[in-house]
Chain A
C-alpha cells in the first residue's frame, strides 16, 4: 500500500469555499445594496444564530431529512443541533418568543448563510448566502403586495433591470389533494413539482378523487405562463375546492400588475417545490444570467402558531450567488473602485494618505523615499507590493500613473494638488 502522506492542507468540509477579494467584494456590495433597500422599506435588521435546535427547525419545516442537514449532538445537552437550512423558522421563533407583545406589523430583515446538503444531486452540500425579510402581522393581500414590492426594489437595487416575477398559490394543489392520505399526497406532489404530467396521471388514476378534481389536478403542470393562464385555470378550478385559492391568486396578480411592481409577471398553478410552511401566495424571482431562481418567498400564516403566537406572516429571501451572476450578466455590478498607492517621503505620504482615505478612497503607501520618474517595471512592482489588482500610483512630487489597466493619469505635482488628486481618483 502506498503511503497516503500528510493530510492535504487545502481540504475543506464538503461544499465549503473561501471567497477571494474580488468575489467577497461582489457579495458584500450586493448584500449592502439589498439590506439598504430593505431598511428603506422599514425592515429592521436582526441577527440570527448559525446553529439551531433540530426540534425548533422541524417545528417550522416539518420532518427534516437528516441526509439533507448538517447536524450533530451537542455534548452538554444531548440536543440535536443543525446548521440552519433556512432562516424563516428562526424568525418565527424569534418573533413568537421575544417580540410576542409587539402590536402591529413587525418588519425584520436578515442576512447570513444557510447550509443545505443535496444528496445525490449535481450540486452537493452548499453554503448559500442569503438576505431576506419577514413581515409579521399583515394578512393577505396587503402583506403579500408589500413583500413583493420590497423584493422587487431590492432586486433593482442589486443592479438588475430585467427580471421576471412568478406568482403561485400553495392552496391550489393542497385543496385538490385534501381528501388523500399524506403518503398519496407526497407521491402526487413529487410528480407535480417536476411537472411530470405522465407520472402525475399514473399516480392520480387510482386516487379516490371526484372526476372534476382529478381532471384539474392532472392539468396543473400545464397551467403556467402569462397571467392570462388564470382564465383557463378558472375554467378548471372553479368547480373544485381550489376555487378560493385561485381567487386569492387572481387578486394578488391584479394588485401586482396594477402597481407595475415587476418588469415581467407570470403565474404557475403547478409550482410545488416551495417549503412546506407556505399557506398562501408564493412567488419567485427569475433573471437572465442565473440558471436558478434569484429569490423566493410567500405567505406562511400557520408558522408562528407553531411557536405559540399565531399571526399571519409572509417573507422573501434573495440568494446572493445567483443574484450576483444575474447582476454581472446584466452589467449591473459596479466596476471595482481604484485604489491609490502613494509614493512619497513619510510626512507627505501620510498627509496624502489621510486625505485620500477621508475622501473614501482606499490608499496604501508603497516604495521607499520619494521616487521620481519611475519606469513601468518599477510601477508594476509597486502595485504588486500594494496588494495587486487595479492601482493608481500617486506622489506629491512626481508623475502619477495608473498601472495594470495601463491608463495614465495626470500628475499631482505638489502637496497643493492633493485635493485635485482626490477628486480625480474618485472619478477614475
Chain B
C-alpha cells in the first residue's frame, strides 16, 4: 500500500564471515547491493540504485533490529532464531553461512550423568539434553567455548562448527549434531506486508538464486 520507490527497503545484515557469501548471492540474484563489501567502517551502505539500504550489525543483533521494525528485512543465522524465538517471518533459507550446532567433548571423554555444558545457546542446549532425560547444568559463556572442557569449566560444549578444525586443534571431538544451520532471510511481519511488492521482489529473486545454486 505504501508508494514504491520512496524510502529504501532496509536490510539488516551480519558483519563478518557471512557477508561476502551474501554479496555473491545478491549478485547471482541480480540485486544491486552497491558497496556492501567496501573496506571501510561505515555501518550504513546503500545500493547503487538507492532502493536498498544495508545496516551492518553484529550477527546476533540482526533479529532484534527487524523485530522492532528498525529494519524491514534481515539476514540471520538459524541458530539465533531457534535460540531466541523471535516473531519474524523466516522467508528464505539462503544456503550460506552453513554450519552445524553440535555437542563436543575432549577426545574419548566419558560424560557424567549430570554434565556441565558450556555454551552460548542456553535454551537449545537445555532443550536438547532435557529431551534425552539428562539434567545438564548449563554454563553461559560468550566465546572461546572450546576452552571450557580443556580447563575443567565444563564436561562438554554446545557450539557451532563449520569445518571442525577448531575442535580438532583444541583436542575436542564431535559427539552429536543438534541442528543443521544456515542463514535465513527474515522479515518484520507488519512491515513486510506494508511493503509487500518491494519486499517480495527481493524475496523471490533471492529464492530463485538459492534454488539455481542448489541445482548447479
Contacts and interface: CB of A to CB of B under 8 A. Distances in A.
Interface in B61-99: 63-64, 67-70, 83-93
A197 B210 CA distance: 13
A122 B86 contact: yes
Contacts of A268: 193
Nearest to B69: A291
B90 A291 contact: no
Q: Tell me the dominant secondary structure on chain B's binding face.
A: mixed
Given A195-B91, A196-B90, A290 B190 contact: yes
Given A162-B1, A195-B89, A121 B67 contact: yes
A27 B70 CA distance: 23
B123 interface: yes
Contacts, number: 71
Nearest to A163: B1
B88 to A, nearest CB: 7
Given A164-B193, A290-B190, A122 B64 contact: yes
Contacts of B2: 162, 288
B196 interface: yes
Nearest to A265: B1
A121 B190 contact: no
B84 A120 contact: yes
B191 interface: yes
Given A122-B63, A291-B190, A225 B87 contact: no
A187 to B, nearest CB: 13
Interface in B87-141: 87-93, 123
A72 interface: no
Interface in A180-210: 194-199
B67 A120 contact: no
A199 B82 CA distance: 12
Contacts of A166: 193
B193 A266 contact: yes
A293 interface: yes
A104 to B, nearest CB: 36
Contacts of B191: 291
Contacts of B63: 122
Interface in A217-264: 221, 224-225, 263-264
Most interface-central of B89, B123, B189 (chain A CB within 10 A)? B189
Interface string A101-121: 000000000000000000111
A264 B64 CA distance: 29
Nearest to A263: B1
Contacts of A276: none
B43 interface: no
A268 B192 CA distance: 12
A266 B88 CA distance: 19
A182 B193 CA distance: 30
A268 B200 CA distance: 14
Given A164-B1, A264-B1, A288-B194, A121 B84 contact: yes
28 contacts: A120-B83, A120-B85, A121-B85, A121-B87, A122-B67, A122-B86, A162-B1, A195-B90, A196-B93, A196-B184, A198-B93, A199-B93, A224-B193, A224-B196, A263-B1, A264-B1, A273-B189, A286-B190, A286-B193, A287-B194, A288-B194, A291-B68, A291-B70, A291-B190, A292-B69, A292-B190, A293-B189, A293-B190
Interface of B: 1-2, 63-64, 67-70, 83-93, 123, 184, 188-191, 193-194, 196, 200
